[in-house]
Amino acid sequence: MEKKPHFVRREFPPREQSSVSLALLLVAVLLLNALLYLYLNKSYISLGRAEMDPSLCPFGYFKLGAMKNCSPWLFCEAINREVRKLKCVGEGAVKKVFLSEWKENKVVLSQLTNSELKDDFLHGLKMLKALQSKHVVRLLGYCEKQFTILTEYHPLGSLRGLNETLHIPKYKGMNTWHRRLMLAIDYVSIIQYLHSSPLGTLVMCDSNDLNKVLSQYLLTSDFHILVNDLDALPLVNRSAGRLVKCGHQELQGEFVAPEQCWPYGEEVPFEDDLMPPYDEKTDIWKIPDVSNFLLGHVEGSDIVRLHLFDIHAACKKKDPAERPSAQEVLDTYRKVLTLLIQEVALPGTREML
């Protein structure tokens, strides 16, 4: 009687199967990291716009809307002839702001309202010209003798209206922890830019409470942040022993940094000459409060706050020298974004490895 041949099915031993699974998982992680790199590179550079002027025009020129060619900044004669005021959309201590029109483009015309503050107005113009970049609202022109500045119009307005904007049906899809963290990264990027600007280390002084800070920034239609008001931007120069004081009045409250408060107690009346100056670390103290507003209360925002807890605690150190630099805060924010995207894309990967 013939024996039937036996076909033996080869099976991988458990250890070999485990090795194959691990290898496949590692390949998946490497591919994911490559995709994350491309995505974040696009987020920081393409969506965030290049470090140069976003219009790609040379200094002293601008491009708006559908314009194909760069146009030189507009000066007194051109502004008077070509710019038409539509309505007043805001007024502060220094200037009045008008929604205006130039060659079928909506623009913003700012005019000095208090002659006693003309130095602040001209300082803001000087900063606006010198700091043109992806972080700063686009300058379109100015007329010094008439104390007038022309800038790009952003219909979503100041950062104060962020939560209201995100409740508009058109923008509800933007109301996520990811988009909000990207806004916080934009904000810290601006602080970092000011602290290492072409002019030196600049301090954002017009920031005595949260609403005041938010009013200094604009929200763009593609959901980025630009700094808009540069009237109070003094220079720190440690090597020359030059520190700053934000105004000549006594500052109070938990929002301002401890070193900005009168240090001699209530029994000693405030005197500006006796108030010690300080440096750019006052901006670092305020980062957690601004970021808390930007992160809002959406699904996932508490997880983001948890990951940022240590860096925010460092920002709130009473001794300014112990606080991190804006670059260190920015690096941490970016690492947290990358980490959280990885965790969303491959939940449980860490445990499997």
Structure tokens given for 332 = 């941490």
Among 185, 180, 190, which Cα is nearest to 51's? 190
**φ and ψ of 126, to 5 deg:** -60, -45
143 pairs with which residues across the strands? 148
Given a cut of 60, is residue 252 above it in pLDDT? yes
The conformation of residue 44, written as its DSSP 8-state character, comes to I
Per-residue CA distances from 353 to 24, 307, 313, 340 (Å): 12, 21, 31, 17
Q: Give the pLDDT confidence score for residue 49 in this predicted structure.
A: 43
pTM over 0.95: no
Helix (H/G/I), strand (E/B), else coil: 115 = helix
- pLDDT for residue 27: 57
3-state secondary structure of 100: strand
Residue type, 29: V
**CA proximity to 289, closest of 152, 188, 161:** 188
Question: Which residues are bridge partners to 97 per DSSP?
Answer: 90, 110
pLDDT class of 313 with cuts at 50, 70, 90: very high
CA atoms within a 13 Å half-sphere pointing along the CA-CB vector of 193: 19
Residue 205 amino acid letter: C
Residues 10 and 136: their CA atoms lie apart, in Å, by 66
Query: What are 21's two structure tokens?
Result: 């699974």
Phi then psi dihedrals of residue 108, to 5 deg = -120, 125
Q: What is the pLDDT of residue 238?
A: 87
Three-class DSSP category at 88: strand
Query: How far from 267 is each of 249, 251, 264, CA to CA, in Å?
Result: 17, 16, 8
Q: What is the DSSP letter of 251?
A: B
Which structural domains are found in the chain, ordered by start?
A: 70-152 (3.30.200.20), 157-344 (1.10.510.10)
Q: How confident is the model over 344-348, as a mean pLDDT? A: 69
pLDDT tens digits for range 167-219: 999 999 999 999 999 999 999 999 999 999 999 999 999 999 999 999 999 99
Please report which confidence band the pLDDT of residue 56 belongs to, taking 50, 70 and 90 as the band edges. Answer: confident
**Amino acid at site 74:** L
Taking phi first (over 0 means left), then psi (-120 to 50 degrees means alpha), and beta for anything else, what does residue 60 get? left
Residue 21 has pLDDT above 80, yes or no: no
Mean pLDDT of 20-35: 59
Which of 95-109, 279-293, 333-347 has the weakest average pLDDT? 333-347
Residue 94 — left, alpha, or beta (φ > 0 → left; ψ -120 to 50 → alpha)?
alpha
Q: Determine contact, residues 230/127, Cβ cutoff 8 Å.
A: yes
Q: Examine the pLDDT at 230 and tell me if it is beyond 60.
A: yes
> Pairing state of beta strands 139-143 and 217-219?
unpaired
Q: How far, in Å, CA of 236 to CA of 200, rounded?
A: 7
